[in-house]
């Protein structure tokens, strides 16, 4: 065998390996840039502050999950409506890429904009659903929208394919909401979203969350929800503040081995302020 032939083959192999390595690095850099852009979109779309009402206490936690070079599209939002009530939403966009993060922004902004026209939760989700369908996107989103009146503590909630909320009262009762929901947003034209009404008791808590908190490789959904129910029950009886409860709930995501974003929004009421 010719030594020259062996050398030439070896040099060619090295050149090919070098080319493939350079291509792989370039592709990884492009994907890394896309992930960084998606993360920036996520952070930019989340609210920078939370509204306050007489006796109402809100707290949030958000834990992005980056699996490899993917990023999810979960969100939460809280804002004051023109009539003084508080709008609260939480949701999850199908997909784990920059398109999902951008679509998340469209859903969140759409909900806010439409809430200034019609804040009734069921109608709001129906209008948002039609808006997303008009965009002709292949993506869809699950969502819960809740309207809270701080003066009466009346909460009106509608769900679009999203998991239920968790509630607890100061007298030791707790559980998972059993309201009727509609389909995810962006799938079915003419979808209807029933509204369920609750009363936020003094000392009570209401927990909105995404499935990354309670479902993963290490724990099924029902077990994860049970853990949050127990945490909420203890928090309500102990009169724990909402921020401490939100911090405790987001730790459940670590135990379930979440591969998705995890978002928590806690609503509590500690009674009206009184003048000294």
What does the domain layout of the chain look like in residue ranges?
A: 7-45, 50-269
> pLDDT at position 273, please?
41
The rounded distance, in Å, linking the Cα atoms of 269 and 58 is: 9
What top-level class would CATH report for the domain 50-269?
alpha beta
The rounded distance, in Å, linking the Cα atoms of 80 and 52 is: 8
Residues of the chain predicted below pLDDT 70:
1-46, 65-72, 96-97, 258-259, 271-276
Contact 163, 211 (CB under 8 A): yes
* Number of C-beta neighbours around residue 6 at 10 A: 10
Q: What is the pTM of this model?
A: 0.81
From residue 14, how far is each of 2, 5, 19, 24, 28 by CA, in Å? 19, 14, 9, 15, 21
The rounded distance, in Å, linking the Cα atoms of 174 and 225 is: 11
The rounded distance, in Å, linking the Cα atoms of 149 and 147 is: 7
Strand 262-269, strand 86-93: pairing: unpaired
> pLDDT at position 246, please?
96
> pLDDT at position 40, please?
54
> pLDDT at position 275, please?
36
């Amino acid at each position: 065998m010719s030594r020259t032939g062996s050398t030439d083959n070896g040099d060619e192999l090295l050149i090919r390996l070098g080319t493939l390595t350079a291509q792989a690095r370039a592709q990884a850099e492009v994907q890394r840039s896309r992930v960084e852009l998606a993360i920036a979109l996520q952070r930019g779309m989340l609210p920078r502050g939370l509204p306050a009402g007489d006796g109402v206490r809100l707290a949030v936690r958000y834990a992005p999950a980056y699996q490899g070079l993917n990023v999810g599209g979960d969100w939460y939002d809280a804002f004051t409506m023109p009539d003084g009530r508080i709008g609260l939403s939480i949701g999850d966009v199908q997909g784990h890429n920059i398109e999902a993060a951008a679509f998340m922004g469209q859903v969140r902004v759409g909900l806010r904009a439409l809430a200034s026209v019609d804040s009734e939760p069921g109608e709001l989700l129906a209008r948002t659903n039609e808006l997303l369908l008009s965009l002709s996107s292949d993506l869809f989103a699950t969502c819960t929208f809740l309207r809270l009146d701080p003066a009466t503590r009346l909460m009106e909630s509608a769900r679009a394919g999203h998991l239920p909320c968790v509630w607890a009262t100061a007298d030791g009762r707790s559980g998972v909401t059993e309201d009727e929901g509609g389909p995810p947003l962006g799938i079915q034209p003419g979808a209807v979203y029933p509204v369920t009404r609750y009363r936020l008791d003094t000392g009570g808590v209401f927990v909105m969350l995404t499935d990354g908190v309670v479902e993963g490789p290490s724990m099924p959904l029902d077990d994860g929800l049970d853990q949050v129910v127990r945490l909420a029950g203890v928090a309500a009886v102990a009169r724990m503040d909402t921020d401490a409860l939100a911090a405790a709930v987001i730790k459940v995501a670590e135990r379930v081995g979440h591969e998705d974003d995890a978002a928590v929004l806690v609503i509590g009421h500690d009674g009206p302020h009184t003048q000294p």
